[in-house]
């Protein structure tokens, strides 16, 4: 019992506490590198695929946008933009679509209703140079290859232009949604976002708890300029705290995006909390171990001590003086065991004497008297006397409820009588049917207890 208790405590320690310690050590030594490596994975590449976006729009309409405009002219542009309202509302990035003529004059707007109601929001957008800008790109087939930034309703928006024969289709994208996935990586609100040009000049700020006053954007751009990945990342010290700086290169315009987060300060605090919890768990484990030992010394040990010598107490040659001195605190328990021992010894002796007397005279009447006498002495309901013949018992007489039943045979296999032949003496004070579940006679007679003794011949063989 003691060894099992110690094993359980050890298993609890290794299976529950040791892994927590390993995790804490891992986070302490590898936290910085781990959160820098995630930015090099393709899963976090949030740049918009212009080809995929064009295909989405065309497949949504199930018609070639170029053919639609060139065949039917601008008269269908209003209907087309209206049909895109639901598409813009359900799109993850696109906010609305503006249709311009070649002079940069707005023809129609589709998408978000607030933009349709406030057309003057777009007046500040200079589309007059769009034609020369597109021509300078020398694009072949129409594609979403030209992009620019503008301020709409106080928000920075990213726009892509798709040129056709007589109009421009401009898709405007929400910057805050555009970088939503990147911000979700940090899973916290205190994030700063800067939009800069290629020289590091800040165009737009999204500041939460991070201040950019002591930071040179151009220095980070210089350090990450030669990065082969679409994302470059490094740890920087800003305002005396450790942060992650991430640079994204937008291919067409050379614009840079810098993202900051005081992530490490937040997780250093979490690490301290986790380390404290691990320490408390270790402390609890040792307290449990200490308490269990104390309980064992006061409760379990005396019971184990008494149980270890129970056989000695029941033994015929027991040292009475030793029992009375070493186990004085169990005096009542010992007296009960002594009484049980004496009762068993007396019944065993009486049964042995009766059996020896019976074997000296073979007479059915003697066996009848003997079986009834055994029942009276032992106080049992059934008394059986029989001969052993191989694996069976040939019953001479069975006494039950004042009647004698003669001459019947039953198998020894899986019976308490078979146990008597093997051990020489057998006593069950209760639960005999559970010990021999295959003995149907025990169940039929509702036998609960049993005592049996064999008689041996001159060859010391049970008969």
Side-chain-side CA neighbours of 355 within 13 Å: the count stands at 20
Highest mean pLDDT among 76-90, 166-180, 434-448: 434-448
| Distance (Å) of CA 91 to CA 97, 117, 171 | 12, 20, 12
* pLDDT range class, residue 229, cuts 50, 70, 90: very low
At 236, which helix (H) or strand (E)? strand 231-238
Q: What is the mean pLDDT of residues 132-137?
A: 52
- Could you tell me how many residues make up the chain? 463
Q: 254 versus 377: which is more confidently predicted? A: 377
Residue 193 DSSP class: E
Lowest model confidence (mean pLDDT) among 46-55, 205-214, 222-231, 397-406? 46-55
* pLDDT range class, residue 42, cuts 50, 70, 90: very low
pLDDT beyond 50 at 82: no
pLDDT beyond 80 at 424: no
pLDDT for position 193: 56
Average pLDDT, the chain: 57
Cβ contact 147:253 at 8 Å: yes
Q: 51 versus 360: which is more confidently predicted? A: 360
pLDDT for position 331: 57
Q: What is the C-alpha separation between 270 and 264, in angstroms, rounded?
A: 10
* pLDDT range class, residue 67, cuts 50, 70, 90: very low
Two tokens, residue 272: 């301290």
Residue with tokens 């559970």: 434
Two tokens, residue 165: 């024969």
Q: What is the mean pLDDT of residues 209-218?
A: 55
Cβ contact 199:171 at 8 Å: no
Q: 381 versus 355: which is more confidently predicted? A: 381
* DSSP string for residues in 403-453: EEEEEEEEE-TTSHHHHHHHHS-EEESS-HHHH-TT-HHHHHTT---EEE-
* pLDDT range class, residue 166, cuts 50, 70, 90: low
Q: What is the mean pLDDT of residues 20-30?
A: 58
What proportion of the chain, given as a percentage, has pLDDT over 70? 21
Cβ contact 84:162 at 8 Å: no
How big, in percent rounded to 5, are the helix, strand and coil portions of the chain?
50, 25, 25
**What backbone torsions phi and psi does residue 166 show, to the nearest 5 degrees?**
-130, 0
pLDDT beyond 70 at 48: no
pLDDT beyond 80 at 379: no
pLDDT beyond 80 at 436: yes
pLDDT beyond 70 at 225: no
Q: What is the pLDDT of residues 257-313, one digit of tens each?
A: 555 544 444 445 565 666 677 677 777 777 777 776 676 666 555 555 555 555 555
* pLDDT range class, residue 377, cuts 50, 70, 90: low
pLDDT for position 182: 41
137, 138, 143, 147 alpha-carbon torsion, rounded to 10°: 10
Q: 336 versus 90: which is more confidently predicted? A: 336
pLDDT for position 416: 81
Two tokens, residue 145: 């290859």
Q: What is the pLDDT of residues 94-113, one digit of tens each?
A: 566 666 666 655 655 655 54
């Amino acid at each position: 019992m003691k060894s099992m208790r110690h094993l359980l405590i050890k298993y609890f320690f290794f299976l529950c506490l040791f892994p927590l310690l390993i995790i804490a050590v891992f986070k302490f030594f590898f936290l910085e590198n781990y959160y820098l490596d995630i930015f090099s994975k393709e899963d976090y590449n949030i740049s918009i695929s212009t080809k995929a976006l064009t295909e989405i729009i065309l497949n949504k309409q199930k018609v070639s946008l170029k053919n639609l405009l060139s065949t039917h002219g601008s008269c269908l542009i209003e209907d087309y933009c209206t049909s895109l309202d639901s598409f813009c509302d359900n799109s993850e990035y696109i906010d609305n679509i503006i249709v311009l003529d070649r002079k940069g004059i707005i023809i129609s707007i589709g998408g978000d209703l607030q933009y349709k109601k406030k057309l003057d929001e777009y007046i500040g957008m200079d589309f007059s140079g769009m034609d020369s800008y597109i021509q300078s790109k020398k694009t072949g087939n129409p594609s979403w290859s030209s992009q620019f930034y503008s301020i709409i309703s106080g928000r920075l928006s990213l726009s892509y232009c798709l040129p056709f024969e007589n109009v421009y289709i401009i898709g405007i994208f929400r910057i805050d949604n555009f970088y939503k996935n990147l911000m979700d990586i940090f899973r916290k609100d205190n994030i700063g976002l800067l939009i800069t040009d290629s020289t590091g000049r800040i165009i737009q700020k999204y500041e939460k708890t991070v201040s950019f006053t002591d930071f040179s954007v151009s220095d980070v751009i210089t350090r990450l300029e030669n990065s082969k990945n679409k994302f470059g990342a490094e740890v920087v010290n800003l305002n005396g705290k450790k942060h992650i700086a991430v640079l994204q290169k937008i291919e067409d315009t050379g614009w840079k995006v810098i993202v900051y987060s005081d992530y490490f300060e937040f997780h250093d605090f979490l690490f301290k909390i986790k380390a404290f919890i691990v320490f408390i768990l270790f402390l609890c484990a040792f307290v449990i171990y200490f308490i269990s030992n104390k309980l064992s010394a006061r409760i379990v040990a005396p019971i184990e001590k008494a149980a270890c010598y129970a056989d000695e107490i029941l033994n015929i040659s027991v040292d009475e003086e030793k029992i009375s001195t070493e186990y004085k605190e169990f005096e009542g328990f010992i007296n009960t065991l002594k009484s049980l021992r004496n009762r068993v010894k007396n019944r065993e002796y009486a049964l042995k004497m009766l059996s020896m007397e019976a074997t000296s005279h073979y007479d059915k009447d003697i066996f009848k008297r003997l079986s009834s006498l055994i029942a009276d002495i032992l106080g049992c309901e059934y008394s059986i006397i029989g001969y052993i013949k191989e694996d069976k018992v040939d019953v001479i007489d069975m006494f039950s409820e004042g009647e004698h039943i003669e001459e019947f045979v039953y198998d020894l296999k899986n019976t308490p009588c078979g146990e008597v032949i093997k051990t020489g003496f057998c006593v069950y004070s209760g639960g005999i049917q559970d010990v021999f579940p295959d003995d149907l006679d025990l169940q039929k007679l509702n036998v609960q207890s049993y005592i049996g003794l064999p008689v041996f011949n001159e060859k010391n063989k049970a008969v």
